[in-house]
Amino acid sequence: MALQSQTAATSGRSVAQLEDEVSRLQSAVQELAVLNDIAVSASKASDVADVLEVIINKSIKAIRAEQGSIMLVTEQQDAPLKTLIRQEDRTTGAVPYKVGINITGWVLQNQQLLVVDDLATDSRFPGIGSSTGDIKSVMAVPIRHRAKMIGILLAVNKKSGEGFSEGDQRLLGIISSQSGQLIQNMQLQEESRQRARMEQELSLARNIQTGLLPTDEPERDTMAVASYFEAADEVSGDYYDYFELPQSKLGAIMADVSGHGASSALVMTMLKGILQATILRYESPAQVVTELNVILCRLLPAEMFVTMVFLEFDASARTLRYANAGHNPLVWFRASKGETIEEHQPGPAVGILGSANYKIKELEMEPDDVIVTYTDGLTEAFNEDREMFGDERLVQAVDACKGDSAEGIVKGIMERLNAFTKDYAQSDDIAIIAIKVNG
């Protein structure tokens, strides 16, 4: 009899242990099924919002909560959390609940699981129960990626009216652990797509820009012309061009549109089109700049403008007339005096003041004289010590190369610039035109 009792007791304990093991295995299978369901659904998502919606929908369904939400950590001190997805079980008929900052702030500060069985009586949040309506129980779990907290997964009210069980806590914790990697993966995909779009825009803008620049240098018996253009990593608005003017005169423009990116490239396209029409009515450099200014004041947004210099070279008379609209000064080597100087002619940039008045300045050119015009990407190029190349070095470079051809002068300027900047990356384009009077 004693042996039978002992066997029965042993059998009873073995059955209980077996049942407990079966229960744990069933829970593990259910957890794996939920995680697999989330992973499969998230793999079909197209953006972060879709991933978050999958996570919260599957979560409140798995733990049988009435509602839930996901908040991601931001860099803003006044709003460290941003609720991106809020979801409710529509079968309950409950209005959407809004959990107060006290609760989410607690999780953000402590960075650990928060379980509240009865919000009205929880000593950690005194007085908050009356302000949260029908919220009774709350469970909030930090979402982490590589130990860094990136968000909060929050569930509100069990449908049964009870508090959240240890099994619920375990499951939501496992879901949050997986969610960190899912969210991070999708954020990386979105960033990759955004970079691809930006690179495509950059390529388009660069193609627009280079397509506007001349492919050949103009030819004159009494002068030689050479140009150079170097694109920076970021598209800006550098533009230069040549024009055949009445009485065999040569026109040249050097312009710099403010800003960067596709908008600057589009303004360049517009500028070239307006110039083509303006040149048909050509009278003087001042007339060209004035007409451009009137038109661009109407077309450009308030924050954009264009600096430019328009040159008119009369080869037979060896004169240079020009109008400057807020652009860099010319660099002029005067052979008769053996000096290289900056030639200034002040004037406002175009696109700012519709009534602006632009004046013409005329220079008498002599054999071996050199004129260089450029954009500020040249003089504002930096070396590794964040020192600019500057106007003085440019004047010295032109002076050192004054005996060379127009092409040699441009090459010499760039050699000196590259020796100064070495491999330091530049953020602005560089455009140069050099004109040398033949003897």
**pLDDT at residue 206, as a whole number:** 77
Give Cα 66 to chain centroid, integer Å: 40
- The average pLDDT across 153-179 equals 89
Per-residue confidence (pLDDT) for residue 233, from 0 to 100: 65
Residue 68 burial (CB count, 10 A)? 28
- Could you give the dihedral angle defined by the CA atoms of residues 263, 267, 273 and 279, in that order, rounded to the nearest 10 degrees? -170
- Is residue 132 scored above 60 in pLDDT? no
154 membership: H or E segment, kind and range: strand 148-158
Q: What would the mean pLDDT of 411-423 be, rounded to a whole number?
A: 95
d(CA 202, CA 260): 10
Residue 1 has pLDDT above 70, yes or no: no
Residue type, 189: Q
> Token digits for 118?
């009865």
Judged against a pLDDT cut of 60, whether residue 97 lies above it is answered with no
Domain covering 28-191 assigned CATH 3.30.450.40 in the classification = yes
Contacts of 75 (CB under 8 A, 6+ apart): none
**Pairing label, strands 319-325, 330-334:** unpaired
User: What is the sign of the dihedral through the CA atoms of 37, 40, 44 and 46?
Assistant: positive
Whether 367 shows a pLDDT value over 50: the answer reads: yes
pLDDT at position 95 is: 47
Rg of the chain over Cα atoms, rounded to whole angstroms, equals 36
d(CA 191, CA 272): 35
- Which residues are CB-contacts of 395 (< 8 A; sequence separation ≥ 6)? 331, 340, 341, 342
Q: What percent of the chain has pLDDT over 70?
A: 86
213-437 maps to CATH 3.30.70.2660: no
What DSSP string describes 375-394?
-HHHHT-B-TTS-B-HHHHH
Q: Measure the CA–CA gap between 336 and 388, rounded to whole angstroms.
A: 31
| pLDDT at residue 8, as a whole number | 46
End-to-end CA distance of the chain: 132
Per-residue model confidence (pLDDT) at position 23: 60
Any idea where the domains of the chain sit in the sequence? Answer: 28-191, 213-437
Task: Report whether 333 contacts 369 (CB < 8 A).
Answer: yes
The rounded percent of the chain whose pLDDT value lies above 90 is 49
Q: How far apart are CA 230 and CA 252, in angstroms?
A: 18
pTM score of the predicted model: 0.66
**Ranges 13-22, 39-48, 373-382: which has the least confidence:** 13-22
Nearest to 275 by CA among 256, 251, 299: 251
Lowest-pLDDT choice from 178-182, 263-267, 399-403: 263-267
The pLDDT of 41-67, averaged and rounded, is 88
- 101-105, 295-299, 351-355: the lowest-pLDDT one: 101-105
Of residues 11 and 20, more confidently modeled = 20
The 10s digit of each residue's pLDDT in 220-268 is: 888 999 999 988 766 778 999 999 999 999 999 999 999 877 788 888 8
Please provide the average confidence, as pLDDT, over all residues in the chain.
Answer: 86
| Dihedral (CA of 330, 333, 336, 339) sign | positive
- Residue 288: alpha-carbon gap to chain centroid: 35
Beta carbons of 249 and 312 less than 8 angstroms apart: yes
- Spell out a b/e string for 188-216, using b for 16 or more CB atoms within 10 Å of the CB, else e: eeeeeeeeeeeeeebeebbebbeebeeee
Per-residue model confidence (pLDDT) at position 425: 84
* pLDDT of 423 strictly over 80: yes
In the three-class reduction of DSSP (H, G, I as helix; E, B as strand; rest coil), residue 238 is classed as: strand
